[in-house]
Structure formats: structure tokens, C-alpha cells
Amino acid sequence: MIYLPEYDAAIYEPPRTGTTFCREALRKLGIRTEEGHVNDQCHTRHSPPDKHNEQPSHIAATVRHPVAWIESYWRYLMDRRPKLDPAVWVPYRFFDDRFQDNFRAFVECCCCGEYAKMIEHFHQQPDTYAIHTETIVRDLEQWLAMITGKHKSIMSTAPINVSKPRSAIWSQELYDKWLESESRVVERWY
């Protein structure tokens, strides 16, 4: 969680949804941020609201289209393949546990609505402002204007934390199956 103490505000950070960009943009704007404080059972940065001690007045969370997200997450796992501590709760363990080098096989194993569950967990409060990865500059500027009362223009900030290009090849059948499994995300945020 990116906590903005001056505004009692927070941005919750589902993995691979643009929050590294948000951190850098806030830094360039001179807005002080802190890490949120979590209980001992979860990963600090990518923890949903119910795992944090703070209950900020202004809440945002990022969201990425399901197709772009699964491609990005697979590329991230291909590049880094982090080792997760089995004792630590993380919202993305489902995907890490099903990782396969073959993109099609990976997506097939993940077609069950888990991305939607994860995103809904981060957007659990009804007044959570959605910052879409696809329109991140506009959405972050609008949210900052709402919480600060001033428009803060985010100048060009290059994409950050980008994985190496790899072929994530979709068949129409797999594409349709993945979107159907994650239809709650598309219906609510896209």
C-alpha cells in the first residue's frame, strides 16, 4: 500500500497493475508517501485493505484488464520467478503455484476467476477509486485532484518495472475462456 499521510489516503497495489509508476509519479510531484503497516501474516506491498492497520479516508486501488494482466504476470514470472515463503500470505500465490513456461498451459490452469477475486479483494470498500493501468496518468491525476483539492499534472513518466518482451500467444478459444473466467473484472471496471 502506498500511504499518503498528508491526505490520509492510500493506493492499494495488486501486483503488475502500475503502482511502481504511481510511486514514481508521486515522488516527482513531491508528495510524501509511506509504506502501509500490515499484520504479520501478509506481504507488505501487495496486501489488500483488510490486511492493513491503517483505515485511510481516501482509498484508491489499481486494476488492469485481465488479458493484459495475465500476459504481464506470466512475463514477470518468466523473468524473475520469485520464491514465496509458504508461511506468508500473498494474494497472488494461486498464480505463482500454477506457473508454467508455456503461456497457453499457464492460462489454462488459471481460468477460474482468481484474478477477479484478487482485484475485488483490493477494491472491497464501495468507495474505492479505480486507477486503471491503461489510463493511469489520467486516473491518478483525477484521484489526486479529488483528495488534494488541486490539479496535479503528471508529466511524462516512462513505464517502470517492465518485463522482457515474450510471446504470449492466444488462440481465440483460450482468449474467450480467460475473459469469461474473469468477466466480473471486465463488467465492473471496463
pLDDT (0 to 100) of residue 42: 59
Contact call for residues 139 and 131 (beta carbons, < 8 A): yes
pLDDT in tens, 126-135: 899 999 999 9
pLDDT (0 to 100) of residue 69: 96
Class of domain 2-189: alpha beta
Please state whether the predicted TM-score (pTM) of the whole model is above 0.85. yes
pLDDT in tens, 64-93: 999 999 999 999 998 887 777 777 777 888
Residue 41 has pLDDT above 90, yes or no: no
